[in-house]
């Protein structure tokens, strides 16, 4: 999380640093990115960088969180659009997310992010780390879900369903970015898998 000092900086200086950071994190994945490049490009001295952020990760996750927030809003809107039909929203949401890889502004950054996905990135993208009202946010989105579509007996199981679809969605996203799947392949795989879990993996005796 950026330090107070950074947030009080004049707009232009913030922008310069953020832009330089985006550029560097688009060039190479996080672990190869160098602070030296970022500050050179932003035109600020090394010492200043450490006034603003703890370290490279701090800056990176701040950025990633911001991107994710915009994105989460879009997906929440889709869910609302579909009147809380969670499973029905998934394909559209997935399609939207894979379309981001060709976004000129953040495509490369996301490419690197997904090719080097780890728990912290996944968590940052899924939730909204720096937001205090995490639990409130969560439950607001939760409230949108119409549970009458779902084969569950309580609220607790809804949380598990979200974890399930989250895990599968992320897994598929990583596949897309790592193996450069075409949009058709990606969506075919994803919908097959979502269909499977919708109807259930286990064969009923009476079928």
Residues in contact with DNA by the rule CB under 7 A: 4-5, 8-9, 13, 33-36, 44-48, 50-52, 55-56
Q: Smallest Cα–Cα separation from 33: which of 42, 23, 44? A: 23
**Cβ-based nearer residue to DNA, 21 or 165:** 21
Q: Using CB distances below 5 to 8 A depending on partner kind, what does residue 149 bind out of a second copy, DNA, none? A: a second copy
Residue 19 CB, nearest distance to DNA (Å)?
17
Is residue 28 at the binding interface for a second copy, with CB under 8 A as the rule? no
Closest CA to 92 of 166, 184, 187: 187
Which of a second copy, DNA, none does 34 bind, CB closer than 5 to 8 A by kind? DNA
Contact 48, 116 (CB under 8 A): no
Q: Classify residue 10 as exposed, middle or buried by CB count within 10 Å of its CB (0-12, 13-18, 19+).
A: exposed
Record the tokens describing residue 20, joined without a space: 């330089």
Does the protein bind a second copy through residue 164 (CB under 8 A)?
A: yes
**Which residue's CB is nearer to DNA, number 8 or number 156?**
8
Nearer to a second copy, 44 or 173 (CB): 173
Structure tokens belonging to residue 22: 């985006």
């Amino acid at each position: 999380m950026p330090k107070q000092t950074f947030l009080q900086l004049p707009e232009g200086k913030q922008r310069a640093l953020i832009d330089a950071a985006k550029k560097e994190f688009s060039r190479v994945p996080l672990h190869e990115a160098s602070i030296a490049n970022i500050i050179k490009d932003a035109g600020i001295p090394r010492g200043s960088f450490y006034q603003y952020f703890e370290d490279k990760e701090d800056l990176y996750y701040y950025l990633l969180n911001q991107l994710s927030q915009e994105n989460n809003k879009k997906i929440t809107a889709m869910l609302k659009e579909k009147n809380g039909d969670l499973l029905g929203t998934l394909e559209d949401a997935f399609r939207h997310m894979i379309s981001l890889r060709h976004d000129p502004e953040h495509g490369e950054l996301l490419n690197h992010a997904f090719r080097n996905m780890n728990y912290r990135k996944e968590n940052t993208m899924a939730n909204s780390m720096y937001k205090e009202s995490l639990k409130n946010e969560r439950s607001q989105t939760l409230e949108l879900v119409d549970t009458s579509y779902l084969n569950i007996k309580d609220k607790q199981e809804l949380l598990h369903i979200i974890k399930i679809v989250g895990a599968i969605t992320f897994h598929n996203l990583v596949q897309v970015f790592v193996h450069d799947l075409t949009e058709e392949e990606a969506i075919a795989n994803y919908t097959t898998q979502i269909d499977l879990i919708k109807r259930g993996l286990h064969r009923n005796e009476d079928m």
